[in-house]
Amino acid sequence: MPSNPSTKSELHQLQEQLRQFAIQRNWDQFHTPKNLVMALSGEVGELTEIFQWLTPEQSQHLSVEKKRQLEEEIADVMMYLVRLADKCDVDILEACQKKIIKNADKYPIEKCYGSAKKYNEL
Amino acid sequence: MPSNPSTKSELHQLQEQLRQFAIQRNWDQFHTPKNLVMALSGEVGELTEIFQWLTPEQSQHLSVEKKRQLEEEIADVMMYLVRLADKCDVDILEACQKKIIKNADKYPIEKCYGSAKKYNEL
Amino acid sequence: MPSNPSTKSELHQLQEQLRQFAIQRNWDQFHTPKNLVMALSGEVGELTEIFQWLTPEQSQHLSVEKKRQLEEEIADVMMYLVRLADKCDVDILEACQKKIIKNADKYPIEKCYGSAKKYNEL
Amino acid sequence: MPSNPSTKSELHQLQEQLRQFAIQRNWDQFHTPKNLVMALSGEVGELTEIFQWLTPEQSQHLSVEKKRQLEEEIADVMMYLVRLADKCDVDILEACQKKIIKNADKYPIEKCYGSAKKYNEL
């Protein structure tokens, strides 16, 4: 289903909000791609800490408090990813579409059904 | 500018594509939140490797090859983030809006202008 | 049991080997703490990828191939950690002793027995 | 210079301290390799946050406070690495020696002098 071309997509709106947030605080000087990747990495670390002692089953039934923390960390990761893509001139959704096509070829259903291995792995 | 409510957003389309990709390969058994956070973390590691020896300036002028790698890794990170949010019932864009409001309060312009420090840090 | 003070410790020998390795290749220019933290982070990403689809039980019984990969990644992480500590003038083992004392205070046995929570967490 | 074989090495002493710390708190149940890798990853995230907004030059001249944080995070990373290696029966220092030999072959001085590229990379 095509998106309405005259409606600025939600990702572009978010990208613009984050641009303004940084400009207002004179933070662009710190937002080199190198630094943004480190900040993204730091937030993924915080995301990981939510789950580190949980079993896979417990990870599927989070407490109210952990759910709240998870929402914040997912937001933090998303915002740095949008910022990094913006600074590096990468269209996130277009990059995802290309990768899905590549993955379909790399992980054919008949070879990968029910298997976590890369299909040429022992 | 409001998005058209009758148009399925691009993020929701991506979420649905990823659901189908996993179902077709019987991969949901591996997609517990715990595992998805680890996969996300692995991809952020690959993203980091692109930049680790570059100076901040070099990180702003990537070679064609590194730009290509960057697009792939950004896509990988995005897709695991969408998958994690889906499995944990988190609306990514809504979570970002909440966090932007919280950040505006935590980093008031008058206190943070031009500074990378948290405003109560020495 | 005290270590023999006249024997250069194995960690110091490793630190010296890594110094020489970098000097011989004129790599010190790339080994700023900032870059070394990113390299360490990249290697931890590779370590994570070994385990990401395994259950906790499977993670305790690795295949021969995964055990081999694990040894390599543990080595990579260790070597970047030693390099980072060296460049930042941190004594790793001394830092660990200080942290163990701090942890014993933060996680008293009577409050933490059998619990993964920080003892003041709900 | 050979280490004295009758002196328990500092790494083995640390490994033993961490075993006791976990046993006293009945924490072994949480210390599966999968969980330990996530905990290690979380600590590397905290380490990354210390440096994320610093320039490479600033990363070489840390404030007293940042130096203190750095010591703690290096300790946290080291301790989870020792714990992971212990649970997976990996000898860290032996693994490092093997990797140094492999790296010397992969990065010959004449091909890599002054270059951050892998030597077969454009």
Q: In this predicted model, which residue has the larger pLDDT, A68 or A6?
A: A68
A113 pLDDT more than 70: yes
- How near does any CA of chain B get to the CA of A120, in Å? 16
Task: Please count the other Cβ atoms lying within 10 Å of the Cβ belonging to residue D120.
Answer: 7
What's the N-to-C CA distance of chain B in angstroms? 40
pLDDT score recorded for residue D8: 67
Q: Which residues of chain C does CATH 1.10.287.1080 include? A: 5-89
pLDDT score recorded for residue C117: 82
Nearest CA in chain A to D28: A53
Alpha carbon dihedral C103, C33, D63, B120, in 10-degree steps, equals -70
Nearest CA in chain B to A49: B37
Inform me whether the C-beta atom of residue B63 falls under 8 Å from chain C C-beta atoms: no
Nearest CA in chain B to C31: B53
pLDDT score recorded for residue D118: 72
SS3 for B70? helix
Which stretches does DSSP call E strand in A24-119?
Answer: none
- How near does any CA of chain A get to the CA of D26, in Å? 13
Q: Give B13-38 pLDDT, tens digit per residue.
A: 999 999 999 999 999 999 999 999 99
Q: Return the CATH number of the domain spanning residue range C5-89.
A: 1.10.287.1080
Q: Tell me which residue of B37, D100, D74, D117 sits closest to C40, measured CA to CA.
A: D74
Q: What angle do CA C67, C71, C72 make, to 5 degrees?
A: 120
Inform me whether the C-beta atom of residue C87 falls under 8 Å from chain D C-beta atoms: yes
Inform me whether the C-beta atom of residue A55 falls under 8 Å from chain C C-beta atoms: yes
Residue from the list C13, C32, C90 with its beta carbon closest to the beta carbon of D56: C32
B1 pLDDT more than 60: no
pLDDT score recorded for residue B107: 96
pLDDT score recorded for residue A117: 83
Task: Give the up-direction half-sphere exposure of residue A32: CA atoms within 13 A in the CB hemisphere.
Answer: 20
Mean pLDDT of chain B: 92
pLDDT score recorded for residue A83: 98
Q: What are phi and psi of C71, to 5 degrees?
A: -60, -45
Q: What angle do CA C32, B51, D45 make, to 5 degrees?
A: 75
**Residues of chain D where predicted confidence (pLDDT) is lower than 50:** 1, 3-7
Asked whether the beta carbons of residue D75 and residue C92 sit closer than 8 angstroms, the reply is yes
Task: Please count the other Cβ atoms lying within 10 Å of the Cβ belonging to residue D48.
Answer: 26
The C-alpha atoms of residue C101 and residue D2 are separated, in whole angstroms, by 31
A122 pLDDT more than 80: no
Q: What angle do CA C63, B84, A115 make, to 5 degrees?
A: 35
Type of residue found at D50? I
C104 pLDDT more than 60: yes
pLDDT score recorded for residue D120: 60
Which residues in chain A are closer than 8 Å to B72, comparing Cβ atoms?
Answer: 95, 98-99, 102
Residues A38-59: b if buried by 16+ CB within 10 A, e if exposed:
bbbbbbbbbbbbbbbbbbbebb
**Helix segments in chain D, DSSP class H:** 10-24, 33-51, 64-87, 92-106, 109-112
- Per-residue tokens: A91: 């269209």
- How near does any CA of chain B get to the CA of D14, in Å? 27
- How near does any CA of chain A get to the CA of C65, in Å? 9
Inform me whether the C-beta atom of residue B21 falls under 8 Å from chain A C-beta atoms: yes
The C-alpha atoms of residue A100 and residue A94 are separated, in whole angstroms, by 10
